[in-house]
């Protein structure tokens, strides 16, 4: 992509009401556009990051047998009344609306009831189970406050998976499989070492749910972690969880974290409330077992921006960066330098490398470097008149600041491996 063609531009200022670092950096760099508090559009650079996160999550969900589908935002009242979750006293984040004949509708903030209601027509026998389905869905949540940028939005993208089982054992086993899949996701996203499977508050069926929490100063949670990092407990269940697992509270140290995933066993609760059953091997009708597994896709993007961003701008892990290389052309008013830069741009693209080419002729070097730091692509490759004379490129690794001078041959050897 040519930067001269990109309609977004970097900015010095951010909306006055924007307090969160993630949104400030993302707005200044042109990854997101703020529509209102908690509601952000994703411009081409931002959408590329989202799609890369989604693809990693998709591959791991497919690997554990998840089937991708897409449910609806509009929700009929009846489906949620059966479980008591239509009431705004129980669920305080509903956006609701009405058909022209005044029929009340909800806008989905989650999809357990929608999935279970749909599955009623596909599940008859234990032979139809297990089933695991997932979606990438835009969720709407009527949050009272929305001050954490894209980490807690009123409109956001979530991967939610739901698994249905005939027995508790089968659910438990699959749940553990998904925990491993989640670990691979965070590993691939570049936050594996800093992400903890955490005891968190449960529900009617289980005492605890599990959150995946990532070390992050801007996080909204306090995690208690053991020195050897094998035990992590959310503050909200500290007393209960330490008692349950037989660990002393004093052995755990508090640290700020951001939730990047949450998984939950509903057990037979929804099946019973909604009367969704199957015939077991003995012909007996039994309620299905349900577990659900969420990853906030936009939230993860926000956490990555918060966690890795520095005073100069964003710093993307390679797996989610919108482009791998930022090819920064200097002295492009010189035809020979320009031709060389264009040639390198073509060759990198031909080699299958994702490149953003700062081909702007009028912008000064300082402005280009500032923009490059702000945009945060993993590698900056500088093409300049001086470099041309030496037959070299300056290559800067954004995350470490490491500077190398590479020949064209070395450059291609480095980036095509």
Query: Which residues contact a second copy by CB under 8 A?
Result: 5-9, 11, 33, 35-36, 39-44, 46-47, 50, 65, 67-76, 95-100, 105, 107, 114, 118-119, 121-122, 128, 131, 133, 138, 140, 142, 144, 154-155
Measured from the CB atom, is 113 or 211 closer to a second copy? Answer: 113
Measured from the CB atom, is 215 or 301 closer to a second copy? Answer: 301
To a second copy, the closest distance from the beta carbon of 381 in angstroms equals: 23
Question: Which has the closest alpha carbon to 270: 139, 383, 164, 347?
Answer: 164
To a second copy, the closest distance from the beta carbon of 386 in angstroms equals: 28
d(CA 224, CA 215): 11
To a second copy, the closest distance from the beta carbon of 345 in angstroms equals: 17
To a second copy, the closest distance from the beta carbon of 239 in angstroms equals: 31
DSSP 366-393: HHHHHHHHHHT-SEEEEE-HHHHHHT-E
Q: Which two tokens stand for residue 412?
A: 């291609």
Measured from the CB atom, is 100 or 248 closer to a second copy? Answer: 100
At CB < 8 A and 24+ separation, what contacts does 386-389 make? 388/336, 388/337, 388/340
Measured from the CB atom, is 60 or 155 closer to a second copy? Answer: 155
**H helix runs in 233-380, sequence order:** 238-245, 269-274, 297-308, 335-350, 365-375
To a second copy, the closest distance from the beta carbon of 248 in angstroms equals: 41
Q: Which two tokens stand for residue 364?
A: 């000064």
To a second copy, the closest distance from the beta carbon of 67 in angstroms equals: 5
End-to-end CA distance of the chain, in Å? Answer: 22
To a second copy, the closest distance from the beta carbon of 268 in angstroms equals: 19
Residue 170: is the preceding peptide bond cis (ω within 30°)? no
Measured from the CB atom, is 46 or 387 closer to a second copy? Answer: 46
Q: How far is CA 32 from the centre of its chain?
A: 15
Measured from the CB atom, is 121 or 400 closer to a second copy? Answer: 121
Structure-token match 């089933």, residue found: 131
**Secondary structure of residue 45 in the 3-state scheme:** helix
To a second copy, the closest distance from the beta carbon of 75 in angstroms equals: 8
d(CA 125, CA 313): 55
Measured from the CB atom, is 302 or 387 closer to a second copy? Answer: 302
For the chain, how many residues are written? 417
Measured from the CB atom, is 132 or 209 closer to a second copy? Answer: 132
To a second copy, the closest distance from the beta carbon of 66 in angstroms equals: 10
Within 13 Å, how many C-alpha atoms sit on residue 47's CB side? Answer: 6
Measured from the CB atom, is 11 or 229 closer to a second copy? Answer: 11
The CA angle 269-209-109, to the nearest 5 degrees, is: 70
- In this structure, the dihedral spanned by the alpha carbons of residues 177, 180, 184 and 186, taken in order and rounded to 10 degrees, is 120
């Amino acid at each position: 992509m040519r930067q001269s063609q990109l309609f977004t531009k970097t900015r010095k200022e951010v909306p006055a009401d924007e307090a969160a670092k993630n949104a400030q950096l993302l707005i200044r760099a042109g990854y997101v556009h703020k529509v209102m508090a908690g509601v952000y559009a994703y411009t081409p650079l931002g959408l590329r990051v989202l799609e890369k996160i989604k693809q990693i999550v998709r591959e791991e969900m497919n690997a554990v047998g998840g089937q991708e589908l897409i449910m609806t935002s509009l929700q009929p009242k009846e489906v949620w009344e059966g479980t008591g979750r239509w009431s705004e006293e129980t669920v305080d984040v509903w956006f609701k609306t009405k058909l022209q004949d005044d029929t009340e509708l909800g806008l989905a903030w989650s999809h357990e009831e929608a999935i279970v209601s749909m599955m009623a027509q596909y599940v008859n026998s234990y032979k139809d189970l297990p089933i695991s389905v997932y979606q990438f869905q835009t969720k709407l949540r009527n949050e009272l406050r929305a001050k954490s940028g894209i980490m807690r939005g009123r409109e956001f993208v979530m991967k939610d998976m739901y698994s249905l089982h005939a027995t508790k054992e089968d659910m438990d086993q699959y749940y553990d499989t998904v925990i491993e899949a989640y670990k691979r996701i965070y590993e691939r996203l570049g936050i594996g070492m800093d992400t903890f499977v955490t005891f968190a508050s449960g529900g009617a069926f289980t005492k605890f749910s599990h959150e995946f929490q990532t070390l992050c100063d801007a996080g909204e949670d306090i995690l208690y972690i053991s020195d050897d990092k094998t035990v992590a407990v959310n503050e909200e269940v500290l007393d209960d969880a330490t008692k349950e697992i037989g660990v002393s509270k004093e052995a755990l140290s508090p640290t700020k974290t951001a939730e990047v995933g949450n998984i939950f066993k509903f057990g037979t609760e929804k099946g019973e409330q909604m009367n969704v059953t199957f015939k077991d091997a003995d012909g007996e009708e039994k309620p299905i077992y349900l577990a659900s597994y969420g990853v906030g896709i936009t939230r993860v993007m926000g956490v990555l921006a918060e966690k890795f961003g520095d005073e100069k701008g964003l710093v993307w892990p390679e797996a989610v960066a919108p482009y791998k290389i930022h090819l920064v052309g200097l002295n492009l008013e010189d035809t020979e330098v320009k031709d060389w830069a264009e040639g390198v741009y073509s060759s990198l693209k031909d080699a299958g490398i994702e490149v953003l080419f700062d081909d702007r002729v009028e912008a000064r070097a300082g402005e280009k470097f500032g923009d490059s730091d702000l945009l945060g692509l993993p590698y900056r490759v500088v093409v300049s008149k001086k470099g041309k004379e030496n037959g070299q490129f300056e290559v800067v690794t954004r995350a470490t600041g490491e500077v190398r001078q590479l020949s064209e041959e070395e450059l291609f050897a480095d980036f095509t491996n």
